[in-house]
Structure 1
Amino acid sequence: MLQPKDDVVNWAAFAQTRAIIGAEFGRLLSYYRDDAAKSIVAVEQAFIARDAVAMVRPAHTLKGDSLQFGAEAIGKLSEKIEHAARQCVEDRSAPDDLGADVPRLRPLLIETLRLFEREVAADAARLARRPGAPGAVAARGFGRKGA
């Protein structure tokens, strides 16, 4: 089951990262999308292989990248998986207890990316409606001389 959308993304962190990155935000967000998907596949494959060692790095990477973009829920879940996998490495045991957590990663990423895309599209629409913005139609006087 997915979490409520308010718990999936930390919008303050998302906005802060967006402000810091600026014009390159869309490009870096696409890198996050690709890298997160690869990390999830790696965690899933390691879980299937019962290989805790192979789970640690992709879970750690997914955690850090997600939290930087404000993807709070997936960041916290990845952190939980990373810590559990590290404990399994120390105990020399298989990560069998993660059977409820690993399958949640993929749908959570899909929901997170959907929310990100909706926010980016809404921002683009708001920007286009601003007076003086490229492609914006003036509220008064489109096509009128002196208006």
Structure 2
Amino acid sequence: MTGNDPQVNWASFGQARAELGVNFVRILGYFREDGVKSVSQIEEAMRSQNSAAMVIPAHTLKGEARQFGADMLGDLAEEIETIARLCVERHDTPTHALEQVVQLRPLFESTLQLLEREANPLVERRPVFGRRSLAG
């Protein structure tokens, strides 16, 4: 776990882990499933130039990402949601969100990998402050 990771706010992640307790890993799994669905829905909405269809999956992804401290992902989803909402108001297509939508899947996948690696109880942790590992 890194304190200074731009993709994940590890303090928020730790707080979510503490608050969710034994349900943490299961709920992280729901985040994976919902996130995969949301990213696909956003990409499909972009392909079909449907601003309205982007709003809910972007909003959902934003909230779930921030729950786990995935601030960069939450911020990107919020940008997409904001652009989509403005486009709906203006009866416009979401072409201005293309750059963000292109960044979304790789950021989601790399963030999820970080979260799942940290959540895995079988992952060997680095020694803390100079303690030597017993493994070697």
TM-score range, shorter chain: 0.7 to 0.9
CA distance in structure 2 between the partners assigned to 1:98 and 1:125 by the alignment: 39
Q: Whole-Å Cα distance in 2 between the matches of residues 22 and 124 of structure 1?
A: 18
Partner of 1:42: 41
Q: CA shift at 1:98, angstroms?
A: 1.1
TM-score (norm: length of structure 1)? 0.79
Report the equivalent of 1:116.
Answer: 115
Q: Which residue of 2 aligns with 1:20?
A: 19
One-letter amino acid matched to 1:32 = F
- Tell me the amino acid that sits aligned with residue 116 of structure 2: E
SS of equivalent residue, structure 1 residue 8: coil
TM-score under structure 2 length normalisation: 0.85
> 2:129: which partner in 1?
none
Residue 10 (structure 2) aligns with = 11
State the one-letter code of the partner of 1:107: P
Q: What is aligned with 2:130?
A: none
* Equivalent position of 2:28 in the other structure: 29
For the residues of structure 1 that align with 2:29 and 2:120, how far apart are their CA atoms? 14
Q: CA deviation at 1:118?
A: 2.0
Uncovered stretches (5+) of structure 1, i.e. residues with no partner = 127-138, 140-147
Cα drift, residue 120 of structure 1: 1.9
* CA RMSD, Structure 1 to Structure 2 (Å): 1.7
Given residue 38 of structure 1, which amino acid in structure 2 is its aligned partner?
Answer: K
Amino acid paired to 1:86: R
1:39-87 CA-to-partner distances (Å, cap 9, x unmatched) read: 0000000011000000000000000011011111110000000000000
The total of aligned residue pairs comes to 123
C-alpha displacement of 1:121? 3.0
Map residues 53-92 of structure 1 onto 2, 5 A cutoff.
Answer: 53-92=52-91
Letter in 1 for 2:118: E
Q: What's the offset of the Cα at 1:122? A: 6.1
- Please tell me whether Structure 1 or Structure 2 has the larger radius of gyration of its CA atoms: 1
